[in-house]
Structures are given as structure tokens and as C-alpha cells.
């Protein structure tokens, strides 16, 4: 089997100005634990956000998920 046969081609991307709530909702809809963050203006991948990032680094710190940008 080749990698291209197992990989996902239709990838959901988040913009850097997405909120933690946006990220959590999309992960829930897609039943996944992380999403890539893409800078559309620079046309490059700038990182990923994980469900752990949302919980440990944001919600547990008291951040407002509706107002906090990723």
C-alpha cells in the first residue's frame, strides 16, 4: 500500500483567526483530535491545534472559547 492510498485528501483547515470554539466544534463534527491551521494569505500551513490544546492550554486556564483566537 502507498501512503496516497491511505491519506486524507479533502482536509479541513482552520484560519488563524478562528476561535477555540470554532476549532472544538469542527473537531466534534469531524470526530477528530486535531486540525491544521492554514494562513490563506501566505498560502502555507502554520501549525495544528489539538483537542488537548483546547482543553489544557485554554479552557483550563479560564480562556473564553468564544473569544479566544487559536
Question: How high is the mean pLDDT of the chain?
Answer: 94
- pLDDT confidence of residue 52: 95
Tell me if 43 sits within 8 A of 16, measured CB to CB.
no
Tell me if 49 sits within 8 A of 14, measured CB to CB.
yes
The pLDDT-based confidence of 8 (bands split at 50, 70, 90) is confident
Among 3.20.20.120, 3.10.580.10, 3.40.50.720, 3.30.750.24, name the CATH number for the domain at 3-61: 3.10.580.10
- pLDDT confidence of residue 37: 98
Sign, CA dihedral 61-64-67-70, equals positive
* pTM of the predicted protein model: 0.84
Domain residue ranges of the chain, discontinuous segments joined by +: 3-61
The region, left, alpha or beta by phi > 0 then psi within -120 to 50, assigned to residue 14 is beta
Residues 42-56: tens digit of each pLDDT? 999 999 999 999 999
- Is the pLDDT at 58 greater than 90, yes or no? no
Amino acid at each position: 500500500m502507498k501512503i496516497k492510498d491511505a491519506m486524507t485528501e479533502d482536509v479541513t483547515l482552520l484560519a488563524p483567526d478562528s476561535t477555540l470554539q470554532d476549532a472544538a466544534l469542527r473537531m466534534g463534527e469531524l470526530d477528530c483530535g486535531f486540525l491544521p491551521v492554514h494562513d490563506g494569505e501566505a498560502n502555507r500551513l502554520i501549525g495544528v491545534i489539538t483537542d488537548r490544546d483546547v482543553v489544557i492550554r485554554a479552557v483550563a486556564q479560564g480562556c473564553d472559547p468564544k473569544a479566544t483566537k487559536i
